[in-house]
Structure 1
Amino acid sequence: MSFRLAFALVSVAALLVDPTGAVSQDMLHGVDLNGPDMTASEMTRAEVDALLKAVPQGDRNSADLEGKRLSHLDLSGLDFSGGNLHLAKLNRTNLKGARLDRANLNQAWLIEADLTEASLAKASLLGTQMHRARLGGADLRGARITADLSGASLNGAKLAGADLSADMRNQSMGLMRGVLKSADLRNADLSGANLARTDLEFAQLQNANLTNCNLNKADLAGADLSDANVAGADFTETDLASAVLPSAAALAEARNLDKARNLNLARRPR
């Protein structure tokens, strides 16, 4: 079965489970993550490097790697800026320090990929699978992200101005949104980010910069916001059940905290 067909079938199944489309994307269901399609590579690092270097410098339509199987490769430090990596398989691939600015990573697979200190500024990550990916110190400023980053490490990542909000216009595959369940976002810069309807259940947000964030209808149940900067952050209908809140002084600078859901069930920091 081709990936495109499998993707479509999973999408239909999601809608059958919940015809309103109000479900989080789950493209892992029924996928063999240990099969060759998800673990093997059809190119070497040298071949990928040669393809990237063959693109004229400054060409906005960079290298085309759509659907390529590049899992488990060492692609650290390479420049994919503006490249087309739609549907590419990059599971457990080493992309440390790689440049992926403005790259199309829509529906790509980066499960347990290492993107430490990588640059993904203004990249497109729609429906991207990034479970347990490592993005410590990565630059995702201005990126559009409806990826599944469950269990991912984003300690010190830069997400200022990023848009992780739900795509309310296109719900044929369920509610596509940023999913950061149990993700490590300690010390991350999320200033001015759009986190509306984002799933941040049990996320670690200690000392994160959430200034002027849109948290409208986001799920922060069980999240730890100890020492987070929430000045100007909008908590309208944000679910705060069992969340650990920052100090009263910090909360005084937030917006619409009184309109948050389950505020009475939130916890003060120890």
Structure 2
Amino acid sequence: MKLAASLSIAVALGWTLLAAPAKSQSMLDMVDLASPAFTTAEMSRADIEAALAKLPAGEKLDLFGKALNKLDLSGMDLRRVSLQAARLMGANLSGANLEGVNLDSAWSMNSDWTGASLKGASLFGTQLIGATLDRADLTGARVAGDFSKASMKGAKLDGADLSADEKNQSMGLMRGTFKSTNLEGASFKGANLRRALIEYTSLNGADLTGASLAGSELGGSDFTGADVAGADFDGADVNSARIGAMKNAEKALNLDKARNLDRAYRN
């Protein structure tokens, strides 16, 4: 299902995903972010509100691949909208309700999702580089998108699945990606972060109790004050990570089995 959806999205946006090996290109290499498709909007907030008002009970408003760049959708109830492959570059979705919404392969770089509810939403291949998701609620969400350089202070990802997708690698390894992301005070209680990429990221004061970090890449990240009681570090790469001031480190699981433990900062 994921593979078919990814390929149809690629065709819709005119990408040539199969022109070269997946690992030789990134998604950013395949699109022109300065093109109208990523800088303009083909609908307004009023258009979306009107379409939702006319929507028959039990149906969803399908905005697959729609250009909604820079729109102010703050505070809207979008639970009956499908935003798969939508382009929301620079859009304002602060305080919006997107519980259970499909955002797979959507583009929303440098956008504002402050305080948005994304409980149970699907963000598979979603591009949120440089976005602001402070205090956003992604409880139980499927998060296999790119949040590099994003601000996610106080975000809630309890029970979320950020793990690598082992089956579907036509577009490269899809997983939660957090490079140079601000995750200070974020909550990952019971979250699945197996093989997630979390490099050079601040997790100061984060709650990782009961989370699985097995096989994850944590190089250069700062875990100062992070609560790791019951967190599983089996096979996690902690090269250059700051793990010396973690909270409840003695209650972490398999920390002794982490890779490059001798190269981590313990003081």
Q: TM-score, normalised by structure 1?
A: 0.91
2:14 aligned with 1:4, yes or no?
A: no
| Identity rate, percent | 47
Alpha carbon RMSD of aligned pairs, Å? 1.8
2: distance between equivalents of 1:16 and 1:131? 19
2:60 corresponds to: 62
2:248 aligned with 1:255, yes or no?
A: no
1:31 corresponds to: 31
* Structure 2 gap segments, 5+ residues each: 1-7
The 8 Å contact of residues 223 and 245 in structure 2, kept in 1 or not, is answered as no
2: distance between equivalents of 1:11 and 1:139? 35
Aligned CA distance change for structure 1 residues 35 and 3 (closer, same or farther; 3 Å): farther
Aligned CA distance change for structure 1 residues 257 and 16 (closer, same or farther; 3 Å): closer
1:15 corresponds to: 22
Displacement over 4 Å in runs of 4+: none
Once the two structures are TM-superposed, the CA of residue 172 in structure 1 deviates from its matched residue by: 1.7
2: distance between equivalents of 1:249 and 1:224? 12
Q: Deviations over 1:192-228 (max 9, x none)?
A: 0100110000111000000011101101000000000
Q: Deviations over 1:57-106 (max 9, x none)?
A: 5x3x4221111100011111111114211110000000010111100100
Q: Say how many residue pairs are matched.
A: 259
The 8 Å contact of residues 228 and 246 in structure 1, kept in 2 or not, is answered as no
SS at match of 1:258: helix
2:232 corresponds to: 234
Structural mapping, 1:128-167, within 5 Å:
128-167=126-165
2: distance between equivalents of 1:220 and 1:266? 10
Aligned CA distance change for structure 1 residues 16 and 246 (closer, same or farther; 3 Å): closer
Aligned CA distance change for structure 1 residues 253 and 11 (closer, same or farther; 3 Å): farther
1:195 corresponds to: 193
* Structure 1 gap segments, 5+ residues each: 18-24
Aligned CA distance change for structure 1 residues 249 and 100 (closer, same or farther; 3 Å): closer
Aligned CA distance change for structure 1 residues 248 and 38 (closer, same or farther; 3 Å): closer
Aligned CA distance change for structure 1 residues 3 and 192 (closer, same or farther; 3 Å): closer
The range that moved more, 79-88 or 135-144, is: 79-88
The one-letter amino acid of 1:144's match is R
The 8 Å contact of residues 11 and 174 in structure 1, kept in 2 or not, is answered as no
> In the alignment, which of 89, 92, 95 is matched to residue 91 of structure 1?
89
2: distance between equivalents of 1:195 and 1:135? 18
Once the two structures are TM-superposed, the CA of residue 28 in structure 1 deviates from its matched residue by: 0.7
The 8 Å contact of residues 82 and 101 in structure 1, kept in 2 or not, is answered as no
Higher RCO by CA contacts (8 Å cutoff, separation 6 or greater): 1
